[in-house]
Amino acid sequence: MPKLRDGEIIIRPQKIDLEERRRVEALMSPSLRRAGDKLAENVKRDFASAVKRHWHLGKLIMDAVDKETDKEQALRFLRIYTSVSQAYINQWCAFYRAFRNDDDINYLIAARRKTFNDTPLSWMYIQKLLTVNDPTQIRKLIEQTCDKDWEPEDLQKAIDKLMGRQLGDRHAGGRPIHVPHSVSGKLSNLQKVVRIIPRNMTLIYKNAEEGILKSIKEMPADKISNELVSEIESSATLVQTTIGSMQDLLNDLQQAQATAEERLSRQAQAQSVEDAEKLDGRAKK
């Protein structure tokens, strides 16, 4: 499924066989063909917000498809006729199913997290809300997210609980975190994660031109807010906590290395003794 981007959407036309398109066009009902023309036109149109764009495109598709007997076929015909990816069409339809009327979509647009009064819910939140089929429950989840200042992971846990799914930690995108069974798998995962920190340190956090400290020093005073100060403090606390956790992990790794080396040495010694006994036994024969 394509990732939604704040304020924009990039549509890459799909390669469609022209003969297949002509065949599909001949099979489409006049109303579905008109909807296809409108969809192709509105994909390029500017909207007040990306949220409104997705809702409008989803409504356009669903209004047309609901009139067709074979809805799956209608969606397939629209994909071929408009050369728009099926993944995007599915996403827009999911968006409209979740927010079926103006009140629902306006409630989403107006939602603001409690700590960040001027910040609407990002696409990371919205994509998780799209997995819930009940508009009433979606509104309750939006309200809880704002009032309790949930992070995306908190929202995902609430959705898992609502759906009766087993609760567990997830990646930011919502996928459950896979726990490797082997030691090699765990070490490989650790190396992958740890490599990200020094990379981002140079590219983002301590960037010579746009690092955090440099940006704060050069930021106009009227752009600095209590929310920004609070966010810096939270980040500093998180880093401090992470340093402690990483030190504990480093201690574990050093002990693991020493233990593995000791056991390997013992095994080598035992193997040497066993080999010597075998040779001695052969010599006596």
SS (H, E, C) the chain: CCCCECCECCCCCCCCCHHHHHHHHHHCCHHHHHHHHHHHHHHCCCCCCHHHHHHHHHHHHHHHHCCCCCHHHHHHHHHHHHCCCHHHHHHHHHHHHHCCCHHHHHHHHHCECCCCCCCECCHHHHHHHCCCCCHHHHHHHHHHHHHCCCCHHHHHHHHHHHHCCCCCCECCCCCECCCCCCHHHHHHHHHHHHHHHHHHHHHHHCCCCCCHHHHHHHCCHHHCCHHHHHHHHHHHHHHHHHHHHHHHHHHHHHHHHHHHHHHHHHHHHHHHHHHHHHHHHHHHC
According to the model, what pLDDT value does residue 7 have? 41
According to the model, what pLDDT value does residue 2 have? 45
d(C-alpha 234, C-alpha 241), whole Å: 11
d(C-alpha 285, C-alpha 280), whole Å: 9
Mean pLDDT along residues 86-110 = 87
What confidence tier does 1 reach under pLDDT thresholds 50, 70, 90? Answer: very low
Summarised one tens digit per residue, pLDDT across range 43-88 is 877 777 788 888 889 999 999 999 999 998 999 899 889 888 888 8
What confidence tier does 8 reach under pLDDT thresholds 50, 70, 90? Answer: very low
According to the model, what pLDDT value does residue 15 have? 60
Quickly count: other Cβ atoms within 10 Å of residue 275's Cβ: 10
The pTM for the full model equals 0.52
According to the model, what pLDDT value does residue 3 have? 45
Summarised one tens digit per residue, pLDDT across range 231-244 is 888 888 888 888 98
Mean pLDDT along residues 113-119 = 67
Q: What percent of the chain has pLDDT over 90?
A: 23
Quickly count: other Cβ atoms within 10 Å of residue 111's Cβ: 17
**Candidate ranges 135-149, 165-179, 271-285; pick with highest mean pLDDT:** 135-149
User: What does residue 175 show for φ and ψ, rounded to 5 degrees?
Assistant: -70, 140
What confidence tier does 176 reach under pLDDT thresholds 50, 70, 90? Answer: low
Q: What percent of the chain has pLDDT over 70?
A: 87
Encoding tokens for residue 251? 């201690």
